[in-house]
Chains A and B, each alone.
Chain A
């Protein structure tokens, strides 16, 4: 029953999409500057149909309708209702439906919120966006249909992968999708803008809010995924340069560059083609990321949904998208003679863009290199943190200095830079750094420079807030949080302690200034899993403080899987992080202990960073 309803709604959506495209072409031929009312109506119907279609699938998951293969493969009657619902998008087919929802809703919202822009530009945006929607709807219907039925109907489902049964992971995909699927709308708008010659300030204004909102969500989405990996995967860090993490970071770099280049386009009417390229690049990178994850090409912990037939479809779609956009761009490209003074805000923003492109290319190379070597020479190589850290970190230092100075510089032509003030801030930053090394611990030269440059950015951003009469809080908060983020990452990296050892029940081990005792092991039964819970007491021999941590080894029923849950004690100063795993044929347990200072501030910094984005969105909406 639900299978038929779902398929019917999918077909209906395809029909509406065709109709929107057809009506849009008819509308283009009319000379007047109004868009047909029917186009608004069908767009609304299209969004509503897709939403109902999605909720039909949510309903199927809630009532455990195993007549749908998708529900059978990803759910189970004993699963808590929250995870039954989040299971809807915790798999390839359901998550694609979420893709299409964002594509259609953004399409509709762009249509109704940009009424002060010319008809041809809006209609062309609508046509391109709907071609994208159509591509994804066909993909869902013919290759990844969440409404495919199974007969005879199984009595029980196979369950959702236990590591996906987690609150953070339930909200991670929707947040991330608003980010990178949201970028589709400015991909379409950029194409429409080249086709209709609608360039300059007005174009920048029409897409600015969309860029800001998708950037803010993308930032939050990456954060939530990162927090999940921290406590669920038991790796004990905030970023692992995992290929799929990188896949979400690539569009983020492009979006961040775009966010800044739009400021120049809006203010000075220059960098138009560069902004268009960034628009096209952002969504292309988003689809490339999806292709890499879903086709199974990347070897990663995230690769839970792979199938080569999906790969070939997304690759064809991606190729079409790339070549169509490159063709239109080349055909319409006109070299411009943008006059930029080297001592001006636009130069500094352009420098920001170069840095972003440098990071993007570095991460892209690191992510694709193993795929290339494997395809060309059959050599399996993996590019790990040492590559990224050694290439990216030194450049971050220079970047932070530019980021601190940039906002102080005036548009068009800056008269002078107040070097005296900058010098004072640098002295302040060096003083902060040496206070840390003097009282706590000395660290490498590069770490010194990271701390100094991040403190420099923090102080100069705070001073900006007091100096200027018209304060841009969104920018201040974002830049300040970014400085904070790098500062805490630097401290966290240098002051972390990590110990790896084996312990059996009742045993105590002294390592450095800590005593570890495995006091107890309990078997606990929960709804959908049982857990061996360890009670490990950590005594700090310098302060005589005792803390108890309870790591778990979980055995999930459906499907039967073993996971290791970290026990984390967090406060504003540090995290105690402990995982426990069983050792084959032995009564010893392997214990991995980490003390990570100021961990929570890394998360808080990223939340503030995206909050800056949301503030900027509100500010921009008010101004327009």
Chain B
């Protein structure tokens, strides 16, 4: 009897710890797969420099556009910045940066220090425009084609692997 109890306890412990281990390897980020293939709604973003507006037409002439939501106060944005700088060298893609809930002076300093990968730069001072894009937190990036269809969405900082994936997608035209 005692042996059975011991084996049960140990099996239970192994099961619980095993589940913990499995959970560790699961991303706690929300699933973005369902967004792929959807078309973005009407884009209307205020330019960072002046009060002009970016609309759908601005992005329809690009083969691909990566919309990147960032802020100077966001530490992971710093981490992903080198990837964006590298991506900006590619011909088939333009990057639209949406500066999220940020101070202009801090944002400019961020770009001055780390480089400016953005073809277009928009501001979203109160964070409301980004919500319309379904952004939960920053950094997040959305890759769209010239029909404004979502190809992929990246939650969290872009990694080197993400960068390679994007390069593969845009160069397989």
**A interface with B by C-beta (< 8 Å):** 73, 158-159, 291, 295-297, 299, 306, 308, 311-312, 315, 318-319, 322-323, 326, 330, 335, 368, 371-372, 374-376, 557-562, 584-585
The contact of B101 among A159, A326, A371, A560, by CB within 8 Å, is: A560
CB distance from A153 to the nearest CB of B (A): 12
Chain B residues touching A, range: 20 to 34
Known contacts A158-B73, A296-B28, A371-B20; can you find 14 more A-B pairs with CB under 8 A? A158-B74, A295-B20, A297-B20, A297-B23, A299-B28, A312-B21, A312-B24, A322-B17, A326-B10, A326-B13, A368-B19, A375-B19, A557-B103, A559-B71
Contact partners of B111 in chain A: CB under 8 A: none
In Å, the complex CA distance between A299 and B25 comes to: 15
Which chain A residues border B28 with CB–CB below 8 Å? 296-297, 299, 306
Residue of B nearest to A319 (CB): B17
Q: Which of A308, A376, A559 contacts B19 (CB 8 A)?
A: A376
Chain B, Cβ-Cβ closest to A152: B113
C-alpha spacing A283/B123, complex, angstroms: 49
| A374 and B127 alpha carbons, distance in the complex (Å) | 31
B75: Cβ under 8 A from any A Cβ: yes
B102 within 8 A of A: yes
- Contact yes or no, B73 A559, CB < 8 A: yes
Within B73-89, which residues are at the interface with A (CB < 8 Å)? 73-75
Distance, CA A225 to CA B105, complexed state (A): 37
**Min CB distance, B26 to chain A, in Å?**
7
A159 and B73 contact, CB distance less than 8 A: yes
Chain A residues near B23: list those with CB within 8 A.
Answer: 295, 297, 371, 374-375
The interface residues of chain A lying within 8 Å CB-to-CB of B74 are: 158, 559
Q: Assuming the A-B contacts A371-B19, A374-B23, A376-B19, are A326 and B9 also in contact, with contact meaning beta carbons closer than 8 angstroms in the complex?
A: yes
Query: In whole angstroms, what is the CA distance A296 to B156 when docked?
Result: 14
A380 to chain B, nearest CB (A): 9
Q: State whether the Cβ of B39 lies closer than 8 Å to any Cβ in chain A.
A: no
Closest-CB distance, A144 to chain B (whole angstroms) = 15
What residues of A have a CB within 8 angstroms of the CB of B20 in the complex?
291, 295, 297, 315, 371
Q: Is the pair B16, A368 in contact by a Cβ cutoff of 8 Å?
A: yes
Q: In whole angstroms, what is the CA distance A311 to B21 when docked?
A: 9
> In the complex, what's the smallest C-beta–C-beta distance from A296 to chain B, in angstroms?
5
CB neighbours (8 Å) of A308 from chain B are: 24-25
Cα distance, A306 to B137, chains bound together (Å): 15
User: How far in angstroms is the closest Cβ of chain A from B18?
Assistant: 9
> Does B168 have its Cβ within 8 Å of any Cβ on chain A?
no
Q: What's the Cα separation between A532 and B141 when bound, in Å?
A: 31
CB distance from B9 to the nearest CB of A (A): 7
Chain B binding surface SS class? helix
Instruction: Return the chain A residue nearest B27 by Cβ.
Output: A308
Cα(A73)–Cα(B74), bound, Å: 9
Residue contact A323 to B13, C-beta cutoff 8 Å: yes
Tell me if B128 counts as interface (CB < 8 A to partner A).
Answer: yes
Q: What is the CA–CA distance of A326 and B9 in the complex, to the nearest angstrom? A: 9
Please report B residues at the A interface, Cβ cutoff 8 Å.
2, 6, 9-10, 13, 16-17, 19-26, 28, 71, 73-75, 101-103, 127-128, 131
3 A-B pairs with the lowest CB-CB distances in the bound complex, closest first: A559-B73, A560-B101, A375-B22
Q: For residue B25, which residues in chain A have a CB less than 8 angstroms away from its CB?
A: 308
From residue B103, how far is it (CB to closest CB) to chain A in Å? 7
A-B contact count (CB 8 A): 63
The residues of B that contact A330 with a CB separation of less than 8 Å are 6
Residues of the B chain whose Cβ atoms lie less than 8 Å from the Cβ of A291: 20
Q: Which residue of B lies closest to A309 (CB)?
A: B24
* Minimum distance in angstroms from A379 CB to a CB of chain B: 12
Asked if A560 and B73 make an inter-chain contact with CB atoms under 8 angstroms apart, the answer reads: yes
C-alpha gap A544/B82 in the complex (Å): 64
With known contacts A296-B28, A306-B28, A326-B9, A560–B19 Cβ distance under 8 A:
no
Alpha-carbon distance between A585 and B132 when the two chains are bound, in angstroms: 12
Contacts of A311 in B (CB 8 A): 24
CA distance A76 to B127 in the complex (A): 22
Please, which residue of chain A has its CB at the minimum distance from the CB of B74?
A559
Tell me whether A315 and B75 are in contact in the complex, defined as CB-CB below 8 angstroms, given that A299-B28, A326-B10 are known contacts.
Answer: no
How distant is the Cα of A368 from the Cα of B23 in the complex, in angstroms?
11
The CA-CA distance from A308 to B22 in the complex, in Å, is 11
Q: How far is the CA of A558 from the CA of B103 in the complex (A)?
A: 10
Choice from B9, B21, B75, B101 contacting A158 with Cβ under 8 Å: B75
Measured between beta carbons, the chain A residues less than 8 angstroms from B6 are 330
B10: chain A residues within 8 A (beta carbon): 326
Residues from chain B with a CB closer than 8 A to the CB of A372 are 19
Question: Max chain A CB contacts within 10 Å: which of B9, B20, B71?
Answer: B20
Known A375-B23, A376-B19; contact A73-B13, beta-carbon cutoff 8 A: no
Residues of chain A with a CB closer than 8 A to B16's CB: 368
- Report chain A residues within 8 Å CB of B2: 335
Complex: chain B residue closest to A155, CB-CB: B109
A374 contacts B17, C-beta separation under 8 Å: no
Q: How far, in whole Å, are A308 and B19 apart by their CA atoms in the complex?
A: 14
Chain B residues with CB under 8 A of A323 = 13
Q: Is the CB of B21 within 8 A of A584?
A: no
State in angstroms the CA–CA spacing of A311 and B71 once bound together.
28
Given contacts A315-B21, A371-B23, A560-B101, whether A73 and B75 have CB atoms under 8 Å apart is: yes
Cα distance A356–B16 when bound, in Å?
21
Q: List chain A residues, Cβ under 8 A from B19.
A: 368, 371-372, 375-376
Cβ contacts under 8 Å, A559 to chain B: 71, 73-74
Residue of A nearest to B127 (CB): A562
Question: In the complex, what distance in Å separates the CA atom of A561 from the CA atom of B100?
Answer: 11
Chain B nearest CB, measured from A274 CB (Å): 14
Can you list 11 A-B pairs with a CB-CB distance of less than 8 A?
Answer: A296-B28, A297-B28, A306-B28, A312-B21, A318-B17, A322-B13, A323-B13, A375-B23, A560-B73, A560-B101, A584-B131
Are B102 and A560 in contact, CB atoms less than 8 angstroms apart? yes
The answer to whether A560 and B17 have CB atoms under 8 Å apart is no
A372-B24 Cα distance, complex, nearest whole Å = 12
Tell me the minimal C-beta distance from A501 to chain B in angstroms: 23
In the complex the two chains form, what is the Cα distance from A499 to B9 in whole Å?
A: 49
Residues of B with C-beta under 8 A to A560: 71, 73, 101-103
Docked CA distance A390–B145 (Å): 52
Which residues of chain B are within 8 angstroms of A557 by Cβ–Cβ distance?
A: 103
A296–B23 CA distance with the chains assembled, in angstroms: 9
* Nearest-neighbor residue (CB-CB) of A308 within chain B: B24
Nearest CB on A from B89, distance (A): 24
Q: A residues within 8 A CB of B21?
A: 312, 315
Contacts of A306 in B (CB 8 A): 28
